A and B are shown apart, each in its own frame.
Chain A
């Protein structure tokens, strides 16, 4: 997949559609575009997106239960079956040149008549002393990636969302104890995950508490609460939401809302004709893999219409 097959990539050609991203929204879009016989190229900073970091997905219709990585492997197989080219690279800016767009990365320049931006989000940082210093040495943003390092240790998950609950449930499988530290009064997980958390003996929730510092020597040793208490811990998993990766969209004047999410309509259109957006980077209030795929698929259809209107032969 990130096996970049240069023979299938033509850097001189103007693609009908270039999809930015490597998550479910991007791949959903690319699969439909390929089936519309569009010349499509996917450029993603990483393949798999955020969903690849979760240990279990139980709400993707028609698949009862699968790991996030397993789900994205299936997306990958589907994409490969349609010979859709993929490049591991990050686009940093977009310009409009005559009737098409130019997309710039640090490695190449690409051309396309239409674009779908599905660049997802970046994990939000806690912004406390020690967070950066201990990143990868006890501070983590991905339980599936880093959970195995904390076997029989005591860890905490910071946050109260469904993702935080799922991360805690995953960590509880191998660690000695998991504390969920949440500033609110009641975690906001899906009822099924909330019940699992409540029933798990290894998980304890500490409400109405914020972390103000992470301390340690070579690795994390404790956290300081906002009430001044020092709490011994081996690992801190931060799961407090994310911010949209919309800088590249802004580089060409795509409109965003106050949160920085790209404004789209029901056709996944942005304010700029020919530029579409889908998934977590867009302004839908509910963000899931399936909703991102849906917006991506609609973006492919709208892009197909847009390019067809331009009377470009393909």
Chain B
């Protein structure tokens, strides 16, 4: 089986297990052609949407991917500060952005993306109790995770950070950034290593980090634990 087929198999097998509905918004850019029809104007958007439809089509109708053109939805794009396409947003019932992907969920990123969809749908979240117990000590935070497609440890840091964000009732937001696709962001942070995790544009965690290290950095002190 080719690697691509193997990945498709994983998406098919796992997405079929989704039991609750999830809606994601994907921003692309579209251009009107002389004959009045629309085509996607951004280079990567076509393939990106094909990939996301694989997730959607295998979810027994549970996952809905809503494609929004920034040109047709300027208000919405402005509200969520969409500055590049394609962008995936996980938005909660209160309209709060919880997770943003500036990265395609392919290759090693399939597993954390699926886990994020399931946790977002309400699947029990392993980290929830401890996150809630420490929530009063966590300031409103953004975790930016710089990743590349080939990085072996990135998927795990992403899975953990996204689970934290979902458990945090809107206090933590994650942004997953493929720095090969968005080299300017990598350069802005001088990142030449992945995973490169930045908390509130202040603290940087380089390389493989476990959930305890991320939480400690968010709190800025020791973790309170009550089993």
Interface residues of A (CB under 8 A from B): 1-4, 6-7, 9, 45-48, 52-53, 68-69, 72, 87-90, 92, 104-109, 135-142, 144-146, 148-150, 218-219, 235
Contacts and interface: CB of A to CB of B under 8 A. Distances in A.
A137 B115 contact: no
A275 to B, nearest CB: 21
Contact of B150 (A3, A45, A137, A144): A144
A112 to B, nearest CB: 15
B192 A107 contact: no
Contacts of A9: 126
B212 interface: yes
Nearest to B212: A106
Given A108-B227, A140-B193, A47 B156 contact: yes
A200 B158 CA distance: 37
Nearest to B197: A136
A46 B208 contact: yes
Contacts of B153: 46, 48, 52-53, 145
Contacts of A136: 191-193, 196, 204, 206-207
Nearest to B107: A69
Interface string B180-199: 10000010001111101000
The contact size tier of chain B is: 35 or more
A2 B193 contact: no
A106 B190 CA distance: 31
Nearest to B127: A107
Contact of B130 (A4, A45, A53, A106): A106
Interface string B115-150: 100100001111101100000000000000000101
A141 B206 CA distance: 10
B223 interface: yes
Contact of B152 (A3, A106, A144): A144
Contacts of A219: 190, 192
Contact of B210 (A1, A89, A140, A149): A89
B118 A137 contact: no
Considering residues A1, A2, A7, A92, which has the most beta carbons from chain B within 10 angstroms of its beta carbon? A2
9 contacts: A3-B14, A3-B118, A6-B126, A106-B215, A142-B152, A145-B148, A145-B153, A146-B193, A235-B192
Nearest to B13: A80
B151 interface: yes
B155 interface: yes
Contacts of B191: 136-137
A145 B210 contact: no
B192 A150 contact: yes
Nearest to A148: B148
A89 B152 contact: no
Interface string B14-50: 1000000000000000000000000000000000000
